[in-house]
Amino acid sequence: MPLDLHEPVAAQLRIVAAEVVMPRYRNLAADEISEKAADDFVTIADKESELRLAEGLSAILPEAGIIGEEACAADPSILDRAGEGLNWIIDPIDGTGNFAAGKPPFGIMVALADGGIILAGWILDPLSGRLCHAVLGDGSFIDGERVQARESGAALPVAALAVYFMTPEERAEVQRRAQTSFTLVDIPRCAAEQYPRLVLGQNDVSIFARTLPWDHAAGTLFLNEAGGCCQRLDGSPYRVGDLRRGLLGASSPRLWDLAAETLLR
C-alpha cells in the first residue's frame, strides 16, 4: 500500500468526526436511535458518518470497493465479497451503544484490505483526537509516533473478555477458566478502545466471539504490527471475509500462548 494514503485518510476521519459525529454526541433525539438487533444500536450519526466516509475514501482510492457496517446491515450480501479484491472496511462509529448513551468510549475505524489481507488500518478517538494507525510490514503508530505493544506487568495478566456473543455455556466455561489465572476487568464495549489498551499496557488479553471485519480489521493489524499477537482461536491469521467466530488478542506472543492454553484448551 502506498504510504502516502495515510495523511488523506487521517484527514477524512478527522473531518467526519468534527462535522458529523461530535455534533450528534449527547445531542440525539429518541427517534434518531434504533436497534438493529438486541443490544445492537444504530444512530443517525452512524449512517451519516458512513456515507461521508464512503464518499471521501472512494475519492482517495477509487478502485477500492466499500464494505461498510450500515450498508451490510441493509444488504447482508455485501459482506459476501469482503474478502475479494481491494476494499475499504468502514466502522462509522464503533461503540455505538456508548455513543447513544452519551458516554465514552467510541471511535471511528477504517481499514484497507486486498483479497482479505489487511494492508492498513486507522482508529480515531473523536473525543481525545488520538489516532492509531498501522501499515502492513511498516509498524504501528499513535499520533505519528511508532509504538510497541507492552505487557501490563500485573501479577496476574489483565484480561478483558468480550463474552456477550457467546452461548451461556461457552461464557461460563471461559469465565471459569479465566478467574484463577487472570485479573478480569470490564470490557469497554468498543473495539476501537480495546485494541489500543492491549498495545498501551492497560490490558494484556482480550477474547472476542463475533469477528465482523469493521470491528476487527484495523485493530488486529494495529496490534500485530505493534508486536502483540491477534489470531484466530486455532492460531491462524485473521482475514477479512473469513466469517468464523472467535478471535484472541494479547499484548505479546507469550501472553497469547498463555491465554490460548488457559482459556481454550
CATH classification code of 158-263: 3.40.190.80
- At residue 37 the predicted structure's pLDDT band, cuts being 50, 70 and 90, is confident
CB atoms within 10 A of CB 153: 9
- At residue 195 the predicted structure's pLDDT band, cuts being 50, 70 and 90, is very high
- At residue 163 the predicted structure's pLDDT band, cuts being 50, 70 and 90, is confident
Average pLDDT over residues 102-128: 98
Q: What is the pLDDT of residue 3?
A: 53
- Per-residue pLDDT tens over the stretch 4-27: 899 999 999 999 999 999 999 999
Decide if 84 contacts 115 (C-beta within 8 A): yes
Rounded Cα gap, residues 119 and 6, in angstroms: 12
Q: Is 28 exposed, middle or buried (0-12, 13-18, 19+ CB in 10 A)?
A: middle
* DSSP label of 204: S
Please tell me if the domain spanning 3-147 has the same topology as the one spanning 158-263: no
Residue 94 annotated as part of some ligand binding site: yes
Rounded Cα gap, residues 201 and 2, in angstroms: 30
Residue 91 annotated as part of some ligand binding site: yes
Residue 125 annotated as part of some ligand binding site: no
Cell 500485573, located at residue: 154
Domain 3-147 has CATH 3.40.980.10: no
Residue 215 annotated as part of some ligand binding site: yes
User: Which residue in 67, 88, 85, 86 sits closest to 77, CA to CA?
Assistant: 67
Query: What cell does 210 get?
Result: 463475533
User: Which residue in 150, 152, 164, 158 sits closest to 226, CA to CA?
Assistant: 150
Domains of the chain, residue spans: 3-147, 158-263
Residue 204 annotated as part of some ligand binding site: no
Residue type, 242: D
Q: Is the whole model's pTM more than 0.85, yes or no?
A: yes
157-187 b/e (C-beta count within 10 Å ≥ 16 → b): bbbbbbbeebeeeeeeebeebbeebbbeeeb
Whether the predicted pLDDT of 197 surpasses 70: yes
Taking only Cα atoms into account, the Rg of the chain, rounded to an integer number of angstroms, comes to 17
